[in-house]
Amino acid sequence: MTKNEIIEQLNEDRTAALFGEADRVRRLHCGNAVHLRGLIEFSNCCGRDCLYCGLRRSNRELKRYRMSVEEVFAAAQAAAKIGYQSVVLQSGENDQYPLFDLCGLIARIKSELKVAVTLSLGEKTREEYAALKDAGADRYLLRFETSSEKLFRALKPDSSYDERLRCLRWLGELGYQVGSGIMVGLPGQTMEMIADDILLMKELDLDMVGIGPFIANPCTPLKDAASGTLELTLKTLAIIRIVTRNTHIPATTAMGSIDPKGRQKALQCGANVLMPNVTPTRYRSLYQLYPNKICISDAPADCAGCIAGMVASLDRTIATGPGHSLKRN
């Protein structure tokens, strides 16, 4: 699709044809199995001050936590026991876990649990990414959030767009399966910007693309901004599926948080991945990127049951295996 065609689709109210095509492309390139990734949100401490995010360092209303390496391993073990063959370790950015500890944790998860390990720890040096890869990490998620440099600068005052893209390039060079993505409906974001975002995803040749609606958080400077809509998020998702073909695309928690059927709808217009939360329940309510996040009082086994029901109700199956990139086999 050309940029103009993408913009046209984003502005189109009749979505049936677009969603049908995205569903067809998903079935053809990714099949009917839904991949599950157990998400461990292991620390909500963050050194950055992004205007949209509840974990921003200026948010004094949030009680901060950092799980010990032992606790993270136990959460990964619980995920493996449920049957998830892939875990995502996510935290705030610039958190101060010693690199040595993170590498030890990854090595232990890989050797004892044999699951795929995805990291989502933000921007790091090339050397740090290399060490984490050597320790056994398979994948890395780092959303560029928006491809508009101007909007990026306004929303992420202590980060640079060039640096973020450099990080994505390094991750690819180091052999990670790389995921990136955006928020849809950011204040000041235009359809043209979203079209550019989608074309950048294609150009980066990503293995995974994660998107979700922007949800205004009352503890941030953007508290009075309008949130993104599920409709525009789903249209964006469908176009990303059509343009990128075989990327892994999750039906994200943010989609499920703005609409009780958000994730189901996403699975029907291009998504092929779910990320059940396996963070210990006592920490969940504290990982508050945005308000009304779902699954906050559930335990890992609750989400597993809920997700199995969701997948079955859509006539889809749960994938076996670690669900590696579809680009590299």
Minimum Å gap between C-beta 267 and ligand FES is 13
Q: Which does 122 bind (CB under 5 to 8 A by kind): ligand FES, ligand 5AD, none?
A: none
Which lies closer to ligand FES via its Cβ, residue 30 or residue 307? 307
Q: What span, in angstroms and rounded, lies between the C-alpha atoms of 222 and 160?
A: 20
Which lies closer to ligand 5AD via its Cβ, residue 256 or residue 280? 256
Q: Which does 123 bind (CB under 5 to 8 A by kind): ligand 5AD, ligand FES, none?
A: none
CB 275 within 8 A of CB 88: yes
- DSSP 8-state secondary structure symbol assigned to residue 248: B
CB 209 within 8 A of CB 247: yes
Question: Could you give the angle at which helices 300-313 and 69-82 cross, rounded to 10 degrees?
Answer: 40
CB 270 within 8 A of CB 22: yes
Q: What span, in angstroms and rounded, lies between the C-alpha atoms of 99 and 101?
A: 5
Q: Which residue's C-beta sits nearest to ligand 5AD?
A: 290
Which lies closer to ligand FES via its Cβ, residue 242 or residue 295? 295
Cβ-based burial of 163 (10 A; exposed 0-12, middle 13-18, buried ≥19) = exposed
Which lies closer to ligand 5AD via its Cβ, residue 215 or residue 307? 215
Minimum Å gap between C-beta 38 and ligand FES is 11
Which lies closer to ligand FES via its Cβ, residue 43 or residue 252? 252
- DSSP 8-state secondary structure symbol assigned to residue 103: H
Considering only residues 269-328, where is the footprint of ligand FES by CB under 6 A? 276-277, 295, 298, 302-303, 306-307
Total residues contacting ligand FES by CB under 6 A comes to 8
Characterize 51-78 residue by residue with b for buried, 16 or more Cβ atoms within 10 angstroms of its Cβ, and e for exposed: bbbbbbbebeebeebbbebebbbebbbb
Q: Which does 84 bind (CB under 5 to 8 A by kind): ligand 5AD, ligand FES, none?
A: none
- For 289, phi then psi, to 5°, come to -65, -40
Contacts with ligand 5AD by CB under 6 A lie at: 52-53, 143, 145, 183, 212, 214-215, 217, 254, 289-290
Q: Which does 295 bind (CB under 5 to 8 A by kind): ligand 5AD, ligand FES, none?
A: ligand FES
Where along the sequence are the contacts to ligand FES (CB under 6 A)? 276-277, 295, 298, 302-303, 306-307
